[in-house]
Amino acid sequence: MIVPKGIRDELRWFYEARFGMFVHFGLYSLLGRGEWAMYHEEIPRGTYSRLMDDFNPHLFDADAWVQLARDAGARYITATAKHHDGFCLFDSALTDFKITNTPFKRDLIGELVRACQKHGMRIILYYSQPDWHHPNYVHCPGAFKDLTHPPETDRPDWPAYQRYYIGQVEELCRNYGSIDGIWFDGSHKSVDAWQGKAVYALIKRYQPHAVVNDRARYGDFFTPERTLPEDLTGYLFESCESVSPVAWGYRRNSPSYTTPHLVRSLVKMAAAGGNYLLNVGPQPDGRIPDRQAQVMREIGAWLRVNGQAVYQTDPVRLPAPRIRKRTAGASATEPFVALAGRTGVTRGGNTIYFHCLEWPEIDRFIIPGIQSAVRQVRLLGSDQVIRFEQSDLGVELFDLPATPPNAQVQVFALLCDLAPGVTEDASVGQEAEPAVIELNARGSTTLPAHLAIQDGRAVKGSRLVVEQDNERQTTVLSGWMVPEQEAHWILMCPEDGDWQVSVYGSCPVSSEEAVVRITVQGQALSAALPDPQAAQNAGSPYPKVIAGTVRLAAGRAVLTLHPEKLVWGYVLGKIEKVQLDRA
């Protein structure tokens, strides 16, 4: 398991925080084309490094950043101490490529951490292990975030780079007093490559309550990016998004998401039990762009009214509420319809919070699933007490105002007698009944991708993906990143006997390392997936590889496939199917 499931006491502050402000700032901010400019524009390392001469965010004010986070209602700040370009915003003793060697001269991270400590704001430091500057970093050309043409003067030396990176993490944990977490960003290499477990232990040694994200492949919480997964409840997780849809670092004339959209996203994550980390990208002078600051403050205004429904709450999965339409002449007999997907529910203390992501065209609601007696219903942000009745059908709210009290998410607070008991929606998170595949004793049986039952999460909380291959009219399993990801098929074997097991698939690059392991009834087989050249020779993107023969007893069996060796330690390839032939 990459991320331990469950919430330990020392991490509780993070689970309860629900909202953080992300900050991407660095040399790239000078260019105004996002934090990947060096990579995408193939700016030579020497040219890029000369940006240091112009780096002087003279209007940077750590207190102002912290004040903005407070105004936004954020409970923590996550700020880039070093991004992929390798430039350090802290005074590292291990490199000259750092902020104290620019005209600015000051240790920005040090100032920010002190300001956070002073104002009671939590601070997490983002640290990118991928490094486009350090000569010892080993690039796998073709791998995400690695350079395709690293300078010839580089001296690739992985142990040396590991010492550098771990040394810098230690500096961050040791030199600034109390910090609240480290946020890595190298999900494209393996836990061994990053020494993820040892680094995790190192961080906790210095800062026991600090949280560590999943992108050194071992940590406390998952970090889905620019998505709002609703199926990670029970794990610690934080979904990150940027106010700018196009970049994390400063980008001139960047568009911005609207405040209602961002509030809805925050609510969706709270209702799934996760945090929302929203990014701003300061300008070259060190100030946060006005438009982004304004959006953050608008979210803060919403949270000042509705924060009790967000912070320190737990997610609740009630069955979908039902509504009656407000159409002209609607009669009392008009049927109720389910309002699925447009609401979110949390609970805190004795109160259930019912969030309406859209103000529905109705004047009455039924909220099913609340078992405790409801004493009072209020709409947060208005003085109005809502008329309601509680019956076997649920809590029915009447006479809702025709227009909502604000333009964002409306929250009904249902105050109960006791900590509310609820009937959770049993269908949430339930997979369909798995198919049982009857083995053909005379010929071949196919275990196709789309019938696989999945298990295990990879970095960012990701699952395997069932891809449609339209050209070949088939489905394939992709997104394999860790050995913990498994595909299972349930078999019914008609008789005792030997079966030959084959895998159809391939890996994306030349490699001898893409190996899958297949287990069934206590027996294990391995098969190496062919590389693209072999696939081309075979005339199929998913050539057949015979893994071996197993002896099966008549009856039910579960066949499991998972990566045994991953190319570069993190990617496997695509698997179309497993096939069993009576031997």
Residue closer to ligand GLC, measured from CB, 142 or 421: 142
Closest approach, Cβ 52 to ligand GLC, in A, equals 20
Does an H or E element contain 92, and which? none
SS3 of residue 366 by DSSP: strand
- For residue 450, give the DSSP letter: G
Residue closer to ligand GLC, measured from CB, 146 or 486: 146
Total residues in contact with ligand GLC, by rule CB under 6 A: 7
Beta bridge partners of 549: 500
In the numeric block, the tokens 């590991």 are attached to 162
Residue closer to ligand GLC, measured from CB, 35 or 230: 35
| 332 contacts: CB under 8 Å, gap ≥ 6 | none
- Annotate each residue in 276-305 with x if it binds ligand GLC (CB under 6 A) or - if it does not, as one string: ------------------------------
Select from 475, 473, 474 the least CA-distant residue to 465: 475
Structure tokens that stand for 455 in this block: 């298990």
Residue closer to ligand GLC, measured from CB, 180 or 185: 185
Residue closer to ligand GLC, measured from CB, 180 or 238: 238
Residue closer to ligand GLC, measured from CB, 173 or 240: 240
Q: Give the relative orientation of helices 290-306 and 259-271 as an angle to the nearest 10 degrees.
A: 50
CA distance 289 to 140: 36
Task: Tell whether residue 240 is a contact of ligand GLC (CB under 6 A).
Answer: yes
Closest approach, Cβ 295 to ligand GLC, in A, equals 18
Closest approach, Cβ 345 to ligand GLC, in A, equals 28
Contacting ligand GLC within 12-51 (CB under 6 A): 24, 35-36
Determine contact, residues 75/17, Cβ cutoff 8 Å: yes
Helix H segments across 307-431? none
Closest approach, Cβ 62 to ligand GLC, in A, equals 21
Closest approach, Cβ 248 to ligand GLC, in A, equals 5
Closest approach, Cβ 567 to ligand GLC, in A, equals 20
Helix H segments across 409-460? none
Residue type, 477: L
Structure tokens that stand for 382 in this block: 């208005």
Closest approach, Cβ 468 to ligand GLC, in A, equals 26
Neighbours of 54 (CB within 10 A): 11
Select from 377, 306, 368 the least CA-distant residue to 339: 368
Residue closer to ligand GLC, measured from CB, 147 or 580: 147
Kindly provide the residue ranges of all beta strands, DSSP E only, lying in 494-573, ordered along the sequence.
497-506, 515-520, 523-528, 544-552, 555-565
Residue closer to ligand GLC, measured from CB, 36 or 257: 36
- Annotate each residue in 362-381 with x if it binds ligand GLC (CB under 6 A) or - if it does not, as one string: --------------------
Closest approach, Cβ 34 to ligand GLC, in A, equals 8
- Annotate each residue in 241-270 with x if it binds ligand GLC (CB under 6 A) or - if it does not, as one string: -------x----------------------
Select from 274, 272, 293 the least CA-distant residue to 282: 293
Kindly compute the dihedral angle of the four CA atoms of residues 365, 369, 370, 371, in this order, to the nearest 10 degrees: 140
Determine contact, residues 427/354, Cβ cutoff 8 Å: no
Residue closer to ligand GLC, measured from CB, 145 or 324: 145
Residue closer to ligand GLC, measured from CB, 107 or 214: 214
Task: Tell whether residue 225 is a contact of ligand GLC (CB under 6 A).
Answer: yes
Closest approach, Cβ 35 to ligand GLC, in A, equals 5
Closest approach, Cβ 491 to ligand GLC, in A, equals 40
Contacting ligand GLC within 483-542 (CB under 6 A): none
Q: Which residues bind ligand GLC (CB under 6 A)?
A: 24, 35-36, 185, 225, 240, 248
